[in-house]
Chain A
Amino acid sequence: MQRVRLRYTKRGRLRFTSHRDFQRAFERALRRAEVPMAYSAGFTPHPKVSYANAAPTGTGSEAEYLEIALTQQRDPEALRALLDECMPTGLDIIDAVEARGSDFSDRLQASEWELRFEGVSPQEAARAADTFLAAESVEVKRQTKKGIRAFDARAAVRTLVPAGGTGQGAPANRADRPGDAACAILRLVVRHVTPAVRPDDVLSGLRATADLAPPVPTAVTRLAQGPLDEETGTVTDPFAPDRDALSGPTGSGDLPSVATVRGGTA
C-alpha cells in the first residue's frame, strides 16, 4: 500500500466551500480519476483519506493537506496533476509527496495567515497589531457547541506584522475583488494549540484591544502550515521530511526546506 500526501488550495469564490463539501468533491474526483484507492474494511467501505486541520469555511487557503492510501503504486506528481484536473478550479491540488513516517499531523505545528483589511490604512493596522502584541493576554469569546466560551488569543500568536498593503498589487487570485483605496495586510503566524486560536479569534482580539473594525469582512488566507522555526518565526514545509527521506541515501540533500508558496500569494 502506497500513501501519498497532497497539498491543496481553497481559492477565490471556492473559499466558501466547507470541509464537508470539499470531502465530497474530493472523493468524487478520486472516482472520476479512477485512482486505485484503498478502502476501509467494514459494512460501508470508505476510501482511505485522512484530512489534516482544515481551514474554516469562508477563509482562503494555499496550504491544506490530506493523505490518501492506494492499492497500487502511482507517481505522486502524475497523480497530483490528474486529481487537479478532476477538481474544480480554485480547489487546486498543488503539491504531492510519497509519505514517509506517520507523524504528519505532528508536523503541522503552526499556520501562517494573511489578513487583508479593505478600507483600513496600513498605519492603522500596524498600530492595532502592536497594541495586540503588547497585551499580556487577550481574552476573546467564541460560540461553540457548548455555548459561549472565553479563552486567550494572545499566547498562541508568534508573529503579527504588517506585510505591505496600501491597495496596490492585489494578488492574482483576488482579481474578483475591487482593488482600490486603502487596504492593509497583516501576516499572522499562530501556533496550533488547544483550544485552537483561529484567525477570527485574532480579529476579535484586534477589535477588543485596538478598536480595529474594518468596514468590510476581512479576507483571510492561510499561506502556509507546518513545523514552526521558533527563532525566525517561519513556518516551514511539512513535506520536507518526506522529500529528505526520498533523496536520503543518494544524498543530493539540496531540496528546499522552506515551503515554496505557489499561486502568487507569497
Chain B
Amino acid sequence: MPVESVFPQLEALLPHVQKPIQYVGGELNSTVKDWEETDVRWALMYPDAYEVGLPNQGVMILYEVLNEREGVLAERTYSVWPDLEKLMREHGVPQFTVDAHRPVGAFDVFGVSFSTELGYTNLLTALELADIPLESKDRTVDHPIVMAGGHAAFNPEPVADFIDVAVIGDGEQAVLEVSEIIRAWKAEGRPGGRDELLLRLAKTGGVYVPRFYDVEYLPDGRISRVIPNRSGVPWRVSKHTVMDLDEWPYPKQPLVPLAETVHERMSVEIFRGCTRGCRFCQAGMITRPVRERSITGIGDMVDKGLKNTGFEEVGLLSLSSADHSEIGDIAKGLADRYEEDKVGLSLPSTRVDAFNIDLANELTRNGRRSGLTFAPEGGSERIRKVINKMVSEEDLIRTVATAYGNGWRQVKLYFMCGLPTETDEDVLQIGDMAVNVIAKGREVAQSNDIRCTVSIGGFVPKPHTPFQWAPQLSAEETDVRLGKLRDKIRGDKKYGRSIGFRYHDGKPGIVEGLLSRGDRRVGAVIREVYERGGRFDGWREYFSYDLWMRSAAATLPQQGVDVDWYTTRERTYEEVLPWDHLDSGLDKDWLWEDWQDALDETEVPDCRWDPCFDCGVCPQLDLDIQVGPTGKKLLPLTVVK
C-alpha cells in the first residue's frame, strides 16, 4: 500500500505556527528512502521539541545505522508544539516524520528515545496524533511496535501500558537485530500476529515486553514479585553493550538543521561509560564498562564530520571527557590541525581533578577564555564522601587559581541539594566555597572583576544506582534549604555581588522522582495528566506541578499509594524494586553495599586505575574495560590547495 506524504495538508497550517522551519525537514545529510524498496521501516522520535531533539546523538546514530542497511528505512519525528498540535487535530493531520512527511502510524516500529522521564506525556500526544491506541493492549497487527529506549528506559514501568517493548543499553546493534526479526516475521506473512512478533522479540533476552510480565503486590503496596506470564520469556532482560566504539563511528554525517537548535556543533563521543562511581549518577552506573574510542578513530570522525557539516565547533563528548587516557594528545592534535580554520573545541563534563591547564590552553587556542564549568556537586567534604565525588576543596581552589591566573574570569560551579544524609550545614558550605573561589581569584588575577556562578538543582534518586533506596527530599524542604543558601550568599557584603546564584525550586524534582522510581501504577497518573492537557514537562512554561499533584491524587490513592510513597520514602534491602527484572549488569548486592558505604561516608575508587571492586558488570556481561593509551598521535592532515 503506497504511503502518501501529508505535507500538502501540513503546508497549509505552517503559516499559522511559530518557527515553521522545524517541521519541513530537508536538513543537510538527512535521508529519504523509497518506501516500496524497503521492508522494515522505523519512525524514530525524540519526544521533545525539534530544537532539543535534533542534536540528540542517540537518535542521530540510530537513524544513520538503520538507513545504511539495505531494505531498512528510518525517518525522524519530534514533538510538535501546542500551536501546531491544535491545528493538526482540527484538520486531521497525523503525527508525521520530518524526512518524507509520512504518517507515523504507517511504520513498523515507532522508536522513542527517553533521555528523561519528562517526555512521557509527549509520547502520549504523539501516539494520539498518530492514531495509534494509547495502550499496548488495544493495538492490532497493523499498528507500529512502540519501542522505548534511552536512559529512562532502564525503568520503563511507568510507561509499561503505553509501550510494547523497551530496549536498554546501546542501540546500534540492537536495532539491527530487531530489524531482522521483524523482516523475517513479515516475510513469513506475519504469523501469529502482533503477539507472535512480540514473543519472538522477548525470546532474544534483550527486548523487554511489559505485557509478558505480571506484577504482584503486597498488602502494604510494595511489589511482591514480577513474573513472566508465558513460557520462553526470560526472568530478566539484559542491556545491550557495544564493545568496540571504533567499529561504530557514528554519526558519520551529522545532521545539520536549518532551524536553530540547542547545540550548534558537531559532537564526537570519545568514550562511553564511566567508573568514577559517583553514587547519584545513573548514567555512570548504567553505561559501564568504560569503552574508549581511539585517538585515531576520534581524529577521523572529526575530520569527516567537519567536512560533511561545516560546523565551527567540535564537542568531545563523554560522561567525563578529561578522563580519556589520551585526552592531552587528542586536544593538542585537533587544535594543531584546525588552528587555521577557526574551529573551536569544547570539552563538556570536565572534572575538577582531571582539569589541567595545558589541556584548557589547547581548547581555547582559537577562542576567548570566558568561562569554565566544574561540578563539585556537594558543598562539604563530608557530603562529597557520601556521594563518592572525590574532589577536595583544595583541588578546586588550586584549579580555579590556575584558571584565573591564565586569563579566565568566570567560573561556574554545579551543585545538588537534597543528597542523602544532607543537612543545612552541607548546603551552606557551598556559599563558603564560592567565597573562597572569588577571594583566590581576586588575589591571583589582581582584579576585582572576577565572577563565580553557583548553579544548584534538586537531587532525584534514580534506578540502578546506590541511591535507588534513598529518600528524596521534599519540595518544601528543598526550597527552605536553598533559601538559606541564597540569603547567606546575598548577605555577604564583601563577596556576595561577585557570586551569581541560580537554582530551581524543588517541585519539578518531585515529579521527576515519581516517574523515575515509579512502577506500573504511575501510568495512570501520566495518562491523567496528559488528558488534562499536560505537555512538554521539561519546559518551565508548560510544566504544572499542580496538574501532576491533582492527577496523582485522582489516581494513586485507590491503589493504596501516593506521591510521597514513591519519592520521600526510603526503601529497604528486601524490597522488590520495579526495575529489578531489567538487568543493567550491576550486582544489586554491590549497589546495596555501596549505599551502606555512602551512609558510612566511605569512598570507593575508580577501577580504571585501582583494582576491580566487583560492581558486577564485566563478569555478568562477559566484558572488560577498554581503555588506551594506544600511543598513537594525530598527524597533520594534508592540505589540498
Contact = CB atoms under 8 A, between A and B. Distances in A.
Interface of A: 13-14, 16-18, 20-22, 24-25, 27-32, 39, 43-45, 57-58, 86, 88-90, 176-178, 216-217
30 contacts: A13-B11, A13-B24, A14-B258, A16-B14, A17-B21, A17-B258, A18-B19, A18-B21, A20-B260, A21-B21, A21-B258, A21-B260, A24-B260, A28-B309, A28-B310, A28-B311, A29-B310, A30-B310, A31-B306, A31-B311, A32-B308, A43-B368, A44-B368, A58-B15, A58-B20, A176-B7, A176-B8, A176-B11, A217-B15, A217-B16
Interface of B: 5, 7-8, 11-12, 14-16, 19-21, 23-28, 256, 258-260, 264, 306-312, 341-342, 368
Nearest to B9: A178
A21 B8 CA distance: 23
Q: Which of B8, B25, B258: most chain A Cβ within 10 A?
A: B258
Given A25-B256, A25-B258, A58-B14, 5 more contacts: A14-B24, A16-B24, A25-B28, A28-B256, A217-B16
A27 B5 CA distance: 31
Given A58-B20, A177-B11, A21 B309 contact: no
Given A45-B342, A58-B20, A176-B7, A216 B310 contact: no
Contacts of B259: 21
Given A13-B24, A14-B258, A45-B342, A32 B368 contact: no
A167 B21 CA distance: 27
Contacts of A29: 310
A28 B264 CA distance: 11
A17 B28 CA distance: 14
B26 A89 contact: yes
A25 B476 CA distance: 47
Q: Which of B25, B28, B308: most chain A Cβ within 10 A?
A: B28
A88 B27 contact: yes
Nearest to A22: B258
Contacts of A43: 368
A12 to B, nearest CB: 9
A32 B342 CA distance: 13
A54 B126 CA distance: 35
Contacts of A89: 26
B19 to A, nearest CB: 8
A177 B8 contact: yes
A32 B309 CA distance: 7
Contacts of A20: 260
A116 B193 CA distance: 49
A17 B26 CA distance: 11
Given A28-B310, A32-B309, A58-B14, A13 B7 contact: yes
A43 B307 CA distance: 25
A156 B48 CA distance: 44
A88 B16 CA distance: 24
A138 to B, nearest CB: 22
Nearest to A86: B310
A58 B15 CA distance: 7
A16 B309 contact: no
Nearest to A13: B24
Contact of B312 (A31, A86, A217): A31
A-B CB proximity, top 4 nearest: A28-B310, A31-B310, A32-B310, A16-B20
A16 B311 CA distance: 22
Contacts of A45: 342
Contact of A13 (B12, B25, B306, B311): B25
Contacts of B308: 32
Contacts of B309: 28, 32
A43 B369 CA distance: 11
B343 to A, nearest CB: 9
Contacts of A216: 12
Q: Which of B15, B25, B264: most chain A Cβ within 10 A?
A: B15
A22 B257 CA distance: 10
Contacts of B14: 16, 58
Nearest to A37: B342
Nearest to A36: B641
Nearest to B15: A217
A216 B368 CA distance: 50
